[in-house]
Structure 1
Amino acid sequence: MTSQSLPADECRYAVFDFDFTTVENCQKSKIFFIAWSPDTSKVRMKMVYASSKDRFKREMDGTQVELQATDPSEISLDIIKSRAL
């Protein structure tokens, strides 16, 4: 998943299985829940997504890391790597 695949003016949820190798050379994976709410999206849409996020997350049992982003830089590969470790 890349931030380019997310709309610039609409909110979205994304679930992302991130595979990585630790500094000890172990293969691991973490499941990310990403709440995308760009500043340019409509206020009503932001409110709907914010109010339904927790219920949606409960239904998606197994997510290990949550990221909330309003800008592509907040879900860069470096950010995802740092949160996975």
Structure 2
Amino acid sequence: MANAASGMAVHDDCKLKFLELKAKRTFRFIVYKIEEAQKQVVVEKLGEPGQSHEDFAKSLPADECRYAVFDFDFVTAESCQKSKIFFVAWSPDTAKVRSKMIYASSKDRFKRELDGIQVELQATDPTEMDLDVFKSRTN
């Protein structure tokens, strides 16, 4: 079913891979891309479980928008090991205006398809996705 605002559909693989990340922790992160020609969101890259936040940040293009999901492991003040699933709306300042508009108008519906997101992060440059930003959003 296409998104009424932007006409974007969501490929089934997007939801299936997200469920694997959430339930089985098969992936550390997933990067999603809008294929304009096909008018749908597709999986662009899967991060292996052993990959780091740095690998995740490097997998986002410097001048193109993307959606991404990151399974962030952290230790609480009480020394408990936890994880939270972050949804990142990556929209760098250098991206084309049309691309930013398409990603912005499709984001809410796409995010609703991914049941289990705990934290949303909007980022326009790498500093807004720094490891410290993730840590500060886990409270």
TM-score normalised to the size of structure 1? 0.96
Counterpart for residue 43 of structure 1: 97
Question: How many pairs were matched up?
Answer: 85
Alpha-carbon distance in structure 2 between the residues aligned to 1:7 and 1:25: 35
2:124 pairs, out of 56, 60, 70, with 70
TM-score normalised to the size of structure 2? 0.59
Counterpart for residue 6 of structure 1: 60
Q: CA RMSD in A?
A: 0.8
Distance apart, 1:35 and its partner CA: 0.2
Alpha-carbon distance in structure 2 between the residues aligned to 1:5 and 1:31: 17
Identical amino acids, percent of aligned pairs: 76
Higher helix content, 1 or 2? 1
Alpha-carbon distance in structure 1 between the residues aligned to 2:125 and 2:137: 17
Greater relative CO, 1 or 2 (CA 8 Å, sep 6+): 1
Structure 2: 5+ residue stretches without partners: 1-52
**SS of 1:49 mapped into structure 2:** helix
Structure 1: 5+ residue stretches without partners: none
Which aligned runs of 4 or more in structure 1 are off by greater than 6 angstroms?
Answer: none
Alpha-carbon distance in structure 2 between the residues aligned to 1:65 and 1:21: 16
Distance apart, 1:41 and its partner CA: 0.3
Alpha-carbon distance in structure 1 between the residues aligned to 2:79 and 2:121: 25
